[in-house]
Amino acid sequence: MSDTDKKEMTRREVLTTGGAALAGLAAASTVAGQGTQAGEAGQRNAAGRLAGRVAIITGAARGIGRATAVRFAREGADVVLIDIARNIPSAPYPLATPEDLAETERLVRAENRRALAVRADVREMSQMRQATERAIRELGKVDILFANAGIATMNSPLVSITDPQWRDVLEVNLFGVANAMRAVLPHMVERKSGVIVANSSVGGRMGTPGVPNYGAAKWGIIGLVKSVALEVGKSNVRVNAVCPTFIDTELTWQGTSLPGQPRPTRAEIEQVARQFHGLDVGVLPPEDVAAAVLFLVSDEGRFLTGEVIDVAAGSNARWQA
The catalytic residue positions are 214
- Distances from the Cα of 131 to the Cαs of 3, 146, 215, 277, 319, in angstroms? 55, 14, 28, 38, 37
First to last CA, the chain: 34
| 3 state SS of 123 | coil
Q: H or E stretch including 179?
A: helix 176-191
CB atoms within 10 A of CB 299: 9
Cα separation of 211 and 155, whole Å?
A: 6
β-pairing verdict for 144-147 and 78-83 = unpaired
Asked if 41 and 35 count as a contact pair (C-beta separation under 8 A), the reply is yes
Asked if 312 and 202 count as a contact pair (C-beta separation under 8 A), the reply is yes
Could you tell me the strand order of the sheet in which 237-244 lies?
115-119, 78-83, 54-58, 144-147, 194-199, 237-244, 308-311
Asked if 205 and 316 count as a contact pair (C-beta separation under 8 A), the reply is yes
Alpha helices in 15-143 (DSSP H): 20-21, 38-45, 63-74, 98-110, 125-139
